[in-house]
Amino acid sequence: QSVLTQPPSVSGAPGQSVTISCTGSSSNIGAGYAVHWYQQVPGRAPKLLIFGNTNRPSGVPDRFSGSKSATSASLAITGLQPEDEADYYCQSYDYMLSGSTAFGGGTKLTVL
Amino acid sequence: QVTLKESGPVLVKPTETLTLTCTVSGFSLNNPKLGVSWIRQPPGKALQWLAHIFSNDEKSYSASLKTRLRISRDTSKSQVVLTMTNTDPLDAGTYYCARVQRGGFPVVNYFDLWGQGTVVTVSP
């Protein structure tokens, strides 16, 4: 059972937009800690997609955006492309956890 | 160029100790803003954070695996080593090391660079 809750799957057609949610609690997102997002293409290592709720590392297209409110966060992907098909994970700091690192259970994005 | 590379055995027997090494380049393990974590992924399952170590030798472990894990670093070799005792078939999966950006509230401890991963099988 992950500390951060994500939907198991989302899907969308090429060109459409999707949103992936990440729900936490008062010891992580609700305490003000930032949310970070990772993309994992099948067979590859995860890659940092969004850090600090809304910031994109260099090289990440602006089709990817993040937001945060209260005890949840969201990753939005616009203009879906076939190469966006991947697993997406949210992560945050949780002061109740040993080591303080919490991952979501991951969301499989299927581009129809 | 900043890289992390995992190495270790492909196969271990149940109850044996697993030793994994992460060799980093392009950054220093003495940088106070950075750390190294180990994260694993069982086949078909989600990411699971295991442990991290920082430049001041601060270490933390996953609560569920704390009694079986030990993380250490050798700055002269630019390596971070994770040992896991008493392995079980449930420990099989891909093990990643990742660089930790320590940050400060509210942006704390995120993983900006990952190694390619190393696959571990636990079987007699």
* Nearest CB neighbour to B60, from listed A52, A89, A100: A100
Residue A98 has pLDDT above 80, yes or no: no
Q: What is the pLDDT of residues A28-76, one digit of tens each?
A: 999 999 999 999 999 999 999 999 999 999 999 999 999 999 999 999 9
pLDDT of residue B107: 85
Cβ of B8 under 8 Å from any chain A Cβ?
Answer: no
Answer yes or no: is pLDDT of A103 > 90.
Answer: yes
Tell me how far apart the alpha carbons of residues A87 and B116 are, in angstroms, rounded to a whole number.
Answer: 16
For an interface test with B, give the residue of A88, A90, A101, A107 to mutate (most B CBs within 10 A).
A101
Mean pLDDT estimate for chain A: 95
Phi and psi, residue B53, nearest 5°: -140, 140
Q: Which pLDDT belongs to residue A99? A: 77
Look at residues B89, B68, B59 and name the one whose alpha carbon lies nearest to residue B17. B68
Q: Do B96 and A105 touch (CB under 8 A)?
A: no
Are B98 and B115 contacting, i.e. CB atoms less than 8 angstroms apart?
A: yes
In the structure encoding, which two tokens stand for residue B84, read together?
């896991």
Contact B48 A48 (CB under 8 A): no
B109 neighbourhood in chain A, CB within 8 Å: 93, 100-101
CA distance B87 to chain A (A): 21
Q: What is the pLDDT of residue B12?
A: 97
pLDDT tens digits, one per residue of B34-92: 999 999 999 999 999 999 999 999 999 999 999 999 999 999 999 999 999 999 999 99
Q: What percent of chain B has pLDDT over 70?
A: 100
